[in-house]
Amino acid sequence: MAWSKPVGRAGLLLLGALALVAVFGPMALPDPAAQGDLLAESLRPPGEGHLFGTDQLSRDVFSRVASGLRLSLTLGVLAAMLAVTLGTLIGLVAGTWGGAIDAVLMRLVDALLAIPRLFVLLLALAVWDRIPLPALVLLLGLTGWYGTSRLVRGEARRLHREEFVRAAEALGSGRWRIAFRHLLPNVAGPVLVAATLGIGDVMLLEAGLSFLGLGVRPPTPSLGGMIQESRSVFATAPWTSIFPGVAIVLAVLAVNLVGDALREALDPRSA
Amino acid sequence: MTPLLEVRDLRVGFPTGRGAIHPVDGVSFTLDRGRTLAVVGESGSGKSLTALALLRLVPSPGVIEPGSMVRLGDQVLTELDERAMRAVRGGRIGMVFQDPMTSLNPVFTAGDQIAEAVRAHRKVTAREARDRALALLEEVGMPAPERRLDEYPHQLSGGMRQRVMIAIALAAEPELLIADEPTTALDVTVQAQILELLDALRAKRGMAVLLITHDLGVVAGRADDVAVMYAGQIVESAPTAQLFAAPAHPYTQGLFASIPTLHGERGRLTPIPGVVPPPDQWPSGCRFAPRCAFRFEKSSEPPPLLPAGPGQLARCWLHAEQPA
Q: What is the pLDDT of residues A32-46, one digit of tens each?
A: 666 666 666 666 777
Q: Which of A163, A173, A177 sits opposite B103 (nearest CB)?
A: A163
pLDDT band at B324 (very low <50, low <70, confident <90, very high): very low
Q: What is the pLDDT of residues B50-106, one digit of tens each?
A: 999 999 999 888 899 999 999 999 999 999 998 899 999 988 999 998 888 888 988
What is the C-alpha to C-alpha distance for residues A142 and A254, in angstroms, rounded to an integer?
24
* Residue environment code for A125-149, b if the CB has 16+ CB neighbours within 10 A, otherwise e: beeeeebeeeebbbbbbebbbbbbb
Top residue of B89, B92, B112, B114 to mutate, by most chain A CBs within 10 Å, is B89
Residue B90, chain A, CB below 8 Å: the answer is yes
Q: How far is B6 from chain A (nearest CA, A)?
A: 19
pLDDT over 90 (residue A13): no
What pLDDT does residue B128 have? 92
Q: Are A50 and A60 in contact (CB under 8 A)?
A: yes
Chain B environment of A171 (Cβ under 8 Å): 89-90, 94-95, 117, 120, 168-169, 171
Q: Where are the domains of chain A?
A: 62-270
> So what's the ipTM on this one?
0.77
Q: What is the pLDDT of residues A136-149, one digit of tens each?
A: 889 889 988 998 99
Residue A172, chain B, CB below 8 Å: the answer is yes
| SS3 category, B18 | coil
Chain A environment of B121 (Cβ under 8 Å): 172
Find all residues with CB under 8 Å of B293, minimum gap 6, and list them: B250
Q: Is B57 close to A170, i.e. CB distance below 8 A?
A: yes
Q: Which helix (H) or strand (E) holds A112?
A: helix A99-113
Instruction: Indicate the burial class of A157 (C-beta count within 10 angstroms; 0-12, 13-18, 19 or more).
Output: middle
Tell me which of B215 and A104 has the higher pLDDT. Answer: A104
What pLDDT does residue B66 have? 92
What pLDDT does residue B72 have? 93
Residue B277, chain A, CB below 8 Å: the answer is no
What is the C-alpha to C-alpha distance for residues B76 and B7, in angstroms, rounded to an integer?
10
- Angle separating helix axes B158-170 and B110-121, nearest 10 degrees: 20
Chain A environment of B174 (Cβ under 8 Å): none
When pLDDT is averaged across residues A10-23 and rounded to a whole number, the result is 84
Q: Which of A167, A177, A186 sits opposite B107 (nearest CB)?
A: A186
What pLDDT does residue B161 have? 92
Nearest CA in chain B to A184: B107
* pTM for this entry: 0.79
Find all residues with CB under 8 Å of A170, minimum gap 6, and list them: B55, B57, B89, B90, B95, B97
pLDDT over 90 (residue A15): no
Q: Which of B87, B88, B105 sits opposite A182 (nearest CB)?
A: B105
What pLDDT does residue B38 have? 94
Residue A161, chain B, CB below 8 Å: the answer is no
Chain B environment of A102 (Cβ under 8 Å): none
CATH architecture of A62-270: Orthogonal Bundle (1.10)
What is the C-alpha to C-alpha distance for residues A149 and A112, in angstroms, rounded to an integer?
12
What pLDDT does residue A37 have? 64
Residue A186, chain B, CB below 8 Å: the answer is yes
Q: Are A75 and A203 in contact (CB under 8 A)?
A: yes
Cα torsion A135, A137, A142, A144: sign: positive
Q: How far is B97 from chain A (nearest CA, A)?
A: 7
Q: Are B252 and B228 in contact (CB under 8 A)?
A: yes
Tell me which of A31 and B19 has the higher pLDDT. Answer: B19
Nearest CA in chain A to B86: A172
Q: Is A170 close to B107, i.e. CB distance below 8 A?
A: no
Nearest CA in chain A to B106: A186
Residue A181, chain B, CB below 8 Å: the answer is yes
Residue B165, chain A, CB below 8 Å: the answer is yes
Q: How far is A245 from chain B (nearest CA, A)?
A: 42
- Angle separating helix axes B188-205 and B158-170, nearest 10 degrees: 20
Q: How far is A176 from chain B (nearest CA, A)?
A: 13
What is the C-alpha to C-alpha distance for residues B52 and B185, in angstroms, rounded to an integer?
19
What is the C-alpha to C-alpha distance for residues B306 and B304, in angstroms, rounded to an integer?
6
Residue A168, chain B, CB below 8 Å: the answer is yes
Q: What is the pLDDT of residues B141-177, one digit of tens each?
A: 998 999 999 999 989 988 899 999 999 999 988 999 9
pLDDT band at A133 (very low <50, low <70, confident <90, very high): confident
Q: Is B89 close to A174, i.e. CB distance below 8 A?
A: no
Residue A1, chain B, CB below 8 Å: the answer is no
Q: Are A246 and A267 in contact (CB under 8 A)?
A: no
Q: Is B95 close to A170, i.e. CB distance below 8 A?
A: yes
DSSP letters of B228-255? EEETTEEEEEEEHHHHHH---SHHHHHH
Mean pLDDT of chain A: 83
Residue B61, chain A, CB below 8 Å: the answer is no
Q: How far is B94 from chain A (nearest CA, A)?
A: 7
Q: Is A174 close to B86, i.e. CB distance below 8 A?
A: yes
What is the C-alpha to C-alpha distance for residues B174 and B168, in angstroms, rounded to an integer?
11
Q: Are B24 and B12 in contact (CB under 8 A)?
A: yes
Residue A162, chain B, CB below 8 Å: the answer is yes
Q: What is the pLDDT of residues B76-88, one digit of tens each?
A: 999 999 889 999 9
Mean pLDDT of chain B: 89
Percentages of chain B per state (helix, strand, coil), in multiples of 5: 35, 25, 40
Chain B environment of A188 (Cβ under 8 Å): 107
Find all residues with CB under 8 Å of A150, minimum gap 6, and list them: A91, A106, A109
pLDDT over 80 (residue A48): no
The DSSP bridge partners found for residue B208 are B176
What pLDDT does residue B293 have? 86
What is the C-alpha to C-alpha distance for residues A213 and A108, in angstroms, rounded to an integer?
31
Rg (CA), chain B: 21
DSSP letters of A64-94? HHHHHHHHHHHHHHHHHHHHHHHHHHHHHHH
pLDDT band at A271 (very low <50, low <70, confident <90, very high): very low
pLDDT over 80 (residue A92): yes
Q: Measuring CA to CA, how many Å separate A242 from each of A45, A144, A221?
A: 12, 29, 15
Q: Are B123 and B206 in contact (CB under 8 A)?
A: no
Residue B53, chain A, CB below 8 Å: the answer is no
What is the C-alpha to C-alpha distance for residues B36 and B202, in angstroms, rounded to an integer?
8
When pLDDT is averaged across residues A156-185 and rounded to a whole number, the result is 87
Q: Which of A172, A182, A185 sits opposite B87 (nearest CB)?
A: A172
What pLDDT does residue B259 have? 78
What is the C-alpha to C-alpha distance for residues B169 and B97, in angstroms, rounded to an integer?
10
What is the C-alpha to C-alpha distance for residues B130 and A145, in angstroms, rounded to an integer?
38
Tell me which of A199 and B270 has the higher pLDDT. Answer: A199
What is the C-alpha to C-alpha distance for residues B24 and A69, in angstroms, rounded to an integer?
65
The DSSP bridge partners found for residue B19 are B16
- Angle separating helix axes A99-113 and A61-97, nearest 10 degrees: 150
Residue A169, chain B, CB below 8 Å: the answer is yes
Q: What is the pLDDT of residues B106-142, one digit of tens each?
A: 888 999 999 988 988 888 999 999 999 999 999 999 9
What is the C-alpha to C-alpha distance for residues B320 and B324, in angstroms, rounded to an integer?
8
Q: Which of A167, A172, A174 sits opposite B103 (nearest CB)?
A: A167
Q: Measuring CA to CA, how many Å separate A52 from each of A18, A20, A42?
A: 15, 17, 12
